[in-house]
Amino acid sequence: MLYLVPTPIGNLEDITLRALRILKEVDKIWAEDTRVSRKLLSHFQIETPLAAFHTFNEHHITASLVAQLKAGATFALISDAGTPGISDPGFLLVRECVKEGIRVECLPGPTAFVPALAASGLPSDKFHFEGFLPHKKGRQTRLQYLATLPHTFILYESPNRLVKCLEQLAEHCTPERPACVARELTKIHEEIRTDTLAGLIAFYKAKNVKGEIVVMVGGA
């Protein structure tokens, strides 16, 4: 059995009771960055063996994990923050487990885009999750596509690229399009700012932007 266990995106109080129990009970926890996860696990006094499962070794070790799961092991997969498989490693392993008939369970829990969207004031009945845009090749094509969507779309973006990203969005979607920047969710400096793209550009251009960011843009 494989458990996908969401971990806090900032506030440690957001771990669920079930996540804590599962992390204590499994044979091994596979983590994106063992140094990051060790801090979380020691905070909650969890001593389960920990090993690395990340973008650089997932192709290489997935078959071995699947073999161990088939032989009866119970594993948890966690990422640095949020839900594994959401702009984080997990998909490859889950796909193989599903193919091999291994039970996969994902616990409900923290993920950045859901609270961002729910608090944005942008329509949330239908939405498109884009995750990170490619930095170079394919970026323009994605922006052109996103600009045509009739519903809210959601991006993950780094703070040093925020203004450039908003400017490119304004170019493709028009500066008047309603949008939202959700920054540092669940942390002390949480900030959720909804405005037009032009308004957000003006605000963030004057700032040294820091922290983790979700960008959302209303539909065409």
DSSP for residue 90: T
Q: Which of residues 176-195 bind ligand SAM (CB under 6 A)?
A: 182-187
Q: Are 19 and 109 in contact (CB under 8 A)?
A: yes
- Give the residue closest to ligand SAM by C-beta: 82
CB 113 to ligand SAM: min, Å: 6
CB of 191 to ligand SAM, least distance (A): 9
Residue closer to ligand SAM by CB (options 102, 183) is 183
Q: How many residues bind ligand SAM (CB under 6 A)?
A: 24
CA distance readout (Å), 200 to 59, 73, 81, 90, 163:
40, 49, 26, 33, 8
Q: Is there binding between residue 133 and ligand SAM (CB under 6 A)? A: no
Dihedral sign of CA atoms 169, 171, 172, 177 in order:
positive
Is residue 33 involved in binding ligand SAM (CB under 6 A)? no
Give the Cα separation of 215 and 74 in Å (integer).
Answer: 36
**Contacts (CB under 6 A) with ligand SAM, residues 152-171:** 156-158
CB half-sphere exposure, 145, CA atoms < 13 A: 10
Site residues for ligand SAM, 63-122, by CB under 6 A, read 79, 81-83, 86-88, 111-113
SS3 86: coil
Looking at this protein, which amino acid is placed at residue 78?
I
Angstrom distance (rounded) from CA 188 to CA 35:
23
- Contact between 10 and ligand SAM by CB under 6 A: the answer reads yes
Q: Which residues form the interface with ligand SAM (CB under 6 A)? A: 9-10, 79, 81-83, 86-88, 111-113, 156-158, 182-187, 212-214
